[in-house]
A and B are shown apart, each in its own frame.
Chain A
Amino acid sequence: MNTGIDVSRIERFGALYIAAARLKSMSKWKVIIAAVDIGNPLFYLIAVGIGIGVLVEKGSGTSGTSGIKYIAFIAPALLASSAIAAVMDETVFPTIEGFKWRKLFFAQNATPITGRQIALGVYLSALCRAISSVSIYYTLLIAFNVVEFGLSALLIPVAVLGGGAFGAIILYAAAKIEKDDQFFNILGRLVIMPMFLFSGTFFPLSSMPIYLQPIGWVSPLWHATELGREAAFDYGLSALMVGVHITYLSTLVILGITLAMSQFERRLAK
């Protein structure tokens, strides 16, 4: 009885094995995922491009939106939000399922795979899903002539970075909250929704009263949106602010995933 299991190999690639398994599970939902990832942008592009956008431009032209069409102004924010939604889907649900419902994490942890690798694997697979969602969204933006192909392709990594920053923190929270499943309903309604509305998504953050602006400052969505606007059109962001946004989002990624990895390890070892 000797299969010659190479533990050092598992130490190196364990997180990728977990990510591969997660992608396999996701592939079972590919029709639904594709419908959401194509349908959602379509609805926004039609509603905002034809409806709200026309109304906004009738009112104030493009003076409030850096001189560009309203739909183009909000497109980077929509892209980042779709990355956030995708990462949320693929971190919160699998984590609760893994620890509680089906206890898949305990099965995975009964192999040489560690809790830290499980956390990282789930996170990586969520990023894959975000890359796919955002790429579809970006393709539709090009197709609808909202942005021009070119430097604007940077919208994809920027949106994924925004989704990844939020997702890393959420992954930690999902592993940390052991009892209250309702937490995530509340999170959706009282954190995600206000974040979506008040992160400079539909209007510049500076047009909000100063006491509401901190919502944007802490929100990964605002940072990703600002970066995205700089990538998509001549937004006039200073090099300093570009640095600040990238640093903030990267810090959240590292902080979140570090916390999540040790929380996974701790919870599985109970």
Chain B
Amino acid sequence: MSKPLISVRGLTKKFDDFTAVDGINFDVAKGESFGLLGPNGAGKSTTMRILSATSTRTSGTVEILDKDPEKFGPLVRAHLGVVPQQDNLDGELTVSENLFIYGRYFGLSKKFINGKIEELLEFAQLEEKRDVKVEALSGGMKRRLTIARGLVSEPDILLLDEPTTGLDPQARHILWDRLFRLKEQGVTLVLTTHFMDEAEQLCDRLVVMDKGAIMAEGSPQGLIKEYSSKEVLEVRFGSDRNKQVAPQLAQMCERMETLPDRLLMYTEDGEKLLERIAAANLHPTTSLVRRSSLEDVFLRLTGRTLIE
């Protein structure tokens, strides 16, 4: 295996008494799509700020393209595209002006940037908005523009912090499609998300983070296989009855999680389990058999759900 593009060892970041990131390790290989999955406050954004060679770390080592980002900030940043959680576009300028000015920050020639703008407007599906002030764009459009802006310098690594948070389902799917194209082109992607479907869609490999630490690492399918069963049966008996029947149901499956509104039963065969529940004369008001997801992995690892 060739040398990783990003190598993180024992990375720790403290703000006064609060430890935001607590001794994490991971590598990202060239062309890989790597995810940091975890709830809000897990330390994902702090990690991303350090990877983007802007924020300092408290301890540990970080190497990006063989260089310490703290010592060679501008040099490392020249190879990164950064898409922050909050779109920090210049609202007073137009779509194309935003791209142009950003390209200039990389010292790129006017000629190169102008050519690049055409390509990026097409990629972001914003050709018709070229001369529109950014303030007037929808949330999804701003997001796509922020991603396009991050690509103006043809970066080796694109860092995306919560790329689809706050977008409606349609806008999210458009964005996923765009990111998938980048992945196909061989761009190395590092993204954070608290959406398990996003992690499953976009990541080749991911780490599950909680409270500043890494709980598990692997491919989405690998993690599901390791930490969950093949299927999940979700049953609801009504909020009071859920607790009453829980002990009896727990005997019938490999593992069970009791959530406020429903019970999650982990099993290899959901339909068969449901039949056994009926045979025991327990009748849930609703039931659903689904395959295990990263949400279940997170629940298993932390005892909590991703979105609380």
Residue contact B88 to A103, C-beta cutoff 8 Å: yes
For the complex formed, measure the closest distance between the CB of B123 and the CB atoms of chain A, giving whole angstroms.
15
A179 interface contact, C-beta 8 A: no
Residue contact A25 to B90, C-beta cutoff 8 Å: yes
**Residues of chain B contacted by A102 (CB below 8 angstroms):** 88-91
Residue contact B106 to A112, C-beta cutoff 8 Å: yes
A269 interface contact, C-beta 8 A: yes
For the complex formed, measure the closest distance between the CB of A109 and the CB atoms of chain B, giving whole angstroms.
5
Chain A residue, CB-CB nearest to B81: A110
Q: Dominant SS at the A interface?
A: helix
Residue contact B54 to A106, C-beta cutoff 8 Å: yes
A223 to B243 alpha-carbon distance, docked (Å): 79
Residue contact B74 to A108, C-beta cutoff 8 Å: no
Chain A residue, CB-CB nearest to B150: A110
Contact of A107 among B88, B153, B156 (CB under 8 A): B88
Q: Tell me the B93-119 residues at the A interface (CB within 8 Å).
A: 93, 97, 101-102, 104-108, 112
Contact of B84 among A17, A21, A28, A107 (CB under 8 A): A107
Residue contact B92 to A25, C-beta cutoff 8 Å: yes
Take A25-B93, A111-B102, A269-B56 as given contacts and tell me if A5 and B108 are in contact as well, using a CB distance cutoff of 8 Å. Answer: yes
Interface size on A, residues (CB 8 A): 33
A268 to B108 alpha-carbon distance, docked (Å): 23
Chain B residue, CB-CB nearest to A115: B54
Contact code string A1-42 (vs B, CB < 8 Å = 1, else 0):
111011101110110011011001100100000000000000
Contact of B54 among A11, A17, A110 (CB under 8 A): A110
Contact of B75 among A7, A13, A24 (CB under 8 A): A7
Residue contact A111 to B88, C-beta cutoff 8 Å: no
Residue contact B154 to A268, C-beta cutoff 8 Å: no
**Residues of chain A contacted by B73 (CB below 8 angstroms):** 112, 114
Residue contact B54 to A112, C-beta cutoff 8 Å: no
A63 to B78 alpha-carbon distance, docked (Å): 64
A13 to B90 alpha-carbon distance, docked (Å): 21
Contact of A268 among B54, B75, B156 (CB under 8 A): B54
Extra A-B contacts (17), CB below 8 Å, given A1-B154, A28-B93: A2-B154, A3-B112, A7-B74, A9-B107, A11-B74, A13-B107, A17-B104, A21-B105, A24-B97, A28-B92, A102-B89, A102-B90, A103-B86, A104-B88, A107-B84, A111-B106, A112-B73
Interface residues, chain B, with chain A CB atoms under 8 Å away: 15, 52, 54-56, 73-75, 77-80, 82, 84, 86, 88-93, 97, 101-102, 104-108, 112, 149, 153-156, 187
